[in-house]
């Protein structure tokens, strides 16, 4: 229903919030309301909007979703690759390897073309990104090997539809017995591994494309066991040698 700005109240915004929660996830509703709250604040303070109070400030926002902490643990990675058989899509194994080695999103990896890859300098230019900011990222030796072993039948490295990748992944995770693992979790895995290898926040942000450290932290789930091993290697031996 429509209402005038003069009649807009916290109660009406509450109704909007509750109606939206029936259709989309709480995190999505929260983002919408945060934007709306900012719009009202700018309009009141700078545009002279005839509203005494910001109605969005009068309501409780849905809680932000807790970041997923799903990583490749124990035998997960071995199970995943073992489930790839002769009948699996040709691109599935290299696609998964490159997601973990580069931290790219599915759409970003699908968008790259052979001309975007600089094998001499071990980098790739990603032109189509989620935030609209192209970036050039370094490639690990494993990523280079994987790319070099791919067939070159098209301008695109992976001339495959996004939906085909999604369906192939769904079948694979069921065969591997990893139904709780999402394809996007491999990006979490990649970012966490970058930190575990000792890269700094700016270095990881350059690779992942995150423009805010707060958002980068949501993708980062370090494993205490790996850090403990690194600490044990960095400590001097007990005999002082």
* Per annotation, catalytic residue among 105, 106, 188, 193: 105
Q: Where are the alpha helices (DSSP H) in the chain?
A: 10-21, 26-46, 76-82, 92-102, 106-111, 141-148, 162-175, 185-196, 201-208, 213-218, 224-234
Of 113, 184, 221, 226, the catalytic one is 184
Write phi, then psi, for 160 (nearest 5 degrees).
-135, 145
**Separation between Cα atoms, residue 13 and residue 2, nearest integer Å:** 12
Catalytic residue among 30, 106, 173, 210: 210
Helix (H, G, I), strand (E, B) or coil at 135: strand
Indicate which residue of 17, 91, 188, 219 is catalytic.
219
Cβ atoms of 26 and 61 closer than 8 Å: no
User: Does residue 226 carry a catalytic annotation?
Assistant: no
Choosing from 115, 130, 133, 214, which is the catalytic residue? 130
Identify whether 105 is a catalytic site residue.
Answer: yes
Active-site entry in 17, 106, 187, 188: 187
Tokens of 122: 């071990």
Question: Among this protein's residues, is 187 annotated catalytic?
Answer: yes
Joined tokens for residue 210: 């995150």
Phi, psi (deg, nearest 5) at residue 16: -60, -45
Residues acting as catalytic residues: 105, 130, 184, 187, 210, 219
């Amino acid at each position: 229903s429509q209402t005038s700005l003069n009649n807009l109240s916290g109660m009406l915004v509450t109704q909007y919030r509750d109606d939206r929660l029936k259709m989309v996830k709480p995190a999505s509703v929260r983002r919408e309301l945060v934007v709306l709250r900012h719009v009202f604040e700018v309009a009141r303070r700078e545009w002279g909007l005839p509203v005494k109070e910001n109605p969005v400030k009068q309501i409780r926002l849905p809680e932000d979703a807790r970041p997923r902490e799903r990583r490749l643990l124990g035998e997960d990675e071995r199970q995943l690759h073992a489930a790839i058989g002769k009948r699996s899509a040709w691109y599935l194994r290299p696609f998964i390897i490159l997601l973990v080695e580069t931290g790219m999103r599915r759409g970003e990896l699908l968008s790259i073309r052979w001309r975007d890859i600089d094998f001499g300098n071990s980098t790739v230019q990603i032109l189509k990104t989620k935030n609209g900011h192209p970036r050039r990222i370094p490639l690990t030796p494993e990523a280079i090997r994987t790319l070099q072993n791919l067939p070159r039948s098209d301008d695109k490295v992976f001339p495959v539809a996004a939906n085909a990748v999604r369906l192939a992944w769904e079948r694979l995770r069921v065969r591997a017995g990893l139904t709780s693992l999402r394809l996007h979790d491999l990006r979490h895995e990649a970012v966490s591994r970058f930190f575990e290898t000792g890269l700094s926040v700016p270095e990881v942000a350059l690779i992942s494309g995150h423009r805010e450290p707060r958002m980068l932290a949501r993708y980062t789930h370090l494993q205490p066991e790996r850090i403990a091993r690194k600490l044990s290697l960095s400590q001097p031996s007990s005999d002082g040698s």
